[in-house]
């Protein structure tokens, strides 16, 4: 873990001290109003956290919301690097995360010392780095990308410009195929969730549901992506299933995105893509799952865990994030998802 998370102090309230009869939703609402706080949540969060959030989005839209909010406090329900991005973009805000241990396998697989060594090996390459990385790796990069703007940003670079793409090799390989760009060197990292979908089980599932469309996140390996009817960021997958005339979908990404899909289109059927044992519970990110209503409540009470970054690191990481924002300014912020009447 980086040293950017300030943990609750010795006097902080603990989970075991929470009165089990407490109306957590009401208490979080009260603290939010008192603190002028906003709750931002990624689509991979548990349904009850998505429902509580003021804004639910993909990595790009959440970054934009964090940069633009006029709240004094941001409670970022996602994983740690997302909270770091919020702090880098909004340094004057208090940025709280429910659980300091909510990491990311892509971030863990790309240590800054190794990344700098790789940069030295490819001095002419522009370092295009997926947002799923530490603040230190961001600071050592040229441009940050997310799954929704990476293709646009790559296409904005001159054809002859070589690229070092880190840390997701499946996303990088997908972008190479999509843009036809040969001069891209890929860092060998993967996401533990997208990595474990099984092509064999997916084919079996498609046979059982012959009309189902497959919607896949580009962090999936090519063996899964080649069966996809649509490939996109979490927000892109949501838009696809809502606009499609099909009724059945197999969703190859972290399964909690299905919560928004079912809320917006309750008449459609969404099936989580299977892992190697044929079960679908493996499509659950253990890091995202660390966040709970209790921890959101405690974070607001304790002002911790909170993100704090040394200013030189923040400024260095801000530069490639600002380039990302500039280069994706033509991509509109997603409209709110229309929800069916409850």
- State the minimum distance, in angstroms, from the CB of residue 208 to ligand 13P: 27
Number of residues that bind ligand 13P (CB under 6 A): 9
Shortest distance (Å) from residue 60 CB to ligand 13P:
6
Using the minimum distance from each CB to ligand 13P, give the nearer residue, 4 or 147: 147
Runs of H (alpha helix) within 38-186: 47-52, 59-68, 80-89, 105-108, 112-121, 135-139, 150-155, 169-179
Residue of 50, 63, 141, 146 that binds ligand 13P (CB under 6 A): 146
Q: Which residue in this structure is represented by tokens 């770091």? A: 84
The residue (of 4 and 146) whose beta carbon lies closer to ligand 13P is 146
User: 86 with 74: CB under 8 angstroms?
Assistant: yes
Q: Which of 63, 69, 105, 132 binds ligand 13P (CB under 6 A)?
A: 132
- Pick the stretch among 30-38, 111-119, 144-152, 330-338 that binds ligand 13P (CB under 6 A): 144-152
Cis peptide before 339 (omega within 30 of 0): no
Tell me which residues in 46-75 interact with ligand 13P (CB under 6 A): 58-59
Which tokens belong to 148? 């929704």
Closest distance of CB 251 from ligand 13P, Å: 12
- Only segment of 10-18, 64-72, 143-151, 303-311 that touches ligand 13P (CB under 6 A): 143-151
Alpha-carbon distances of 12 from 17, 19, 74, rounded to whole Å: 10, 15, 19
What CA–CA distance (Å, rounded) separates 91 from 151?
Answer: 29
- Using the minimum distance from each CB to ligand 13P, give the nearer residue, 32 or 275: 275
Please name which of 111, 115, 176, 172 lies closest in space to residue 145, comparing C-alpha atoms. Answer: 172
Closer residue to ligand 13P in complex, CB, 45/302:
45
Measure the CA–CA gap between 46 and 42, rounded to whole angstroms. Answer: 9
Dist CA 199 CA 210 (whole Å): 15
The residue (of 56 and 299) whose beta carbon lies closer to ligand 13P is 56
**Distance of alpha carbon 168 from alpha carbon 173, whole angstroms:** 9
Of 59 and 134, the one with the shorter C-beta distance to ligand 13P is: 59
Binding residue for ligand 13P, selected from 4, 63, 90, 147, defined by CB under 6 A: 147
Residue 190 near ligand 13P by CB under 6 A? no
Q: Among the candidate windows 86-94, 119-127, 145-153, 220-228, which touches ligand 13P by CB under 6 A? A: 145-153
Whole-angstrom Cα distance, residue 195 to residue 106? 11
List interacting residues with ligand 13P (CB under 6 A): 58-59, 132, 146-148, 219, 233-234
């Amino acid at each position: 873990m980086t040293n950017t998370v300030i943990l609750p102090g010795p006097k902080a309230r603990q989970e075991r001290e929470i009165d089990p009869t407490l109306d957590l939703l009401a208490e979080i609402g009260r603290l939010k109003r008192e603190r002028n706080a906003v709750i931002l949540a990624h689509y991979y969060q548990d349904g009850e956290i998505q429902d509580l959030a003021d804004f639910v989005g993909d990595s790009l839209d959440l970054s934009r919301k964090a940069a633009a909010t006029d709240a004094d406090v941001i409670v970022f329900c996602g994983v740690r690097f997302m909270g770091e991005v919020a702090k880098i973009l909004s340094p004057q805000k208090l940025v709280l995360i429910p659980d300091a241990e909510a990491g990311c396998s892509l971030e863990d697989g790309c240590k800054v010392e190794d990344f700098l060594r790789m940069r030295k090996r490819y001095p002419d390459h522009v370092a295009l780095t997926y947002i799923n990385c530490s603040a230190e790796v961001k600071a050592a990069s040229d441009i940050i990308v997310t799954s929704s703007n990476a293709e646009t940003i790559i296409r904005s670079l001159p054809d002859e410009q070589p690229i070092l793409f880190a840390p997701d090799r499946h996303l990088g390989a997908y972008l190479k195929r999509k843009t036809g760009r040969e001069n891209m060197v890929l860092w060998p990292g993967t996401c533990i969730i997208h990595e474990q979908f099984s092509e064999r089980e997916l084919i079996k599932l498609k046979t059982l549901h012959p009309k189902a469309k497959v919607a896949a996140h580009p962090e999936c390996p090519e063996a899964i992506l080649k069966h996809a009817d649509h490939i996109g960021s979490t927000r892109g997958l949501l838009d696809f299933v809502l606009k499609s005339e099909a009724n059945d979908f197999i969703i190859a990404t972290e399964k909690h995105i299905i919560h928004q899909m079912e809320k917006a289109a309750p008449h459609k059927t969404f099936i989580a893509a299977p892992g190697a044992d044929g079960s679908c519970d493996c499509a659950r990110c253990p890091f995202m799952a660390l966040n709970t209503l209790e921890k959101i409540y405690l974070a607001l009470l304790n002002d911790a865990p909170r993100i704090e970054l040394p200013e030189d690191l923040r400024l260095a990481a801000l530069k490639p994030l600002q380039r990302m924002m500039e280069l994706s300014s033509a991509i509109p912020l997603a409209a709110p998802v229309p929800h069916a009447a409850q």
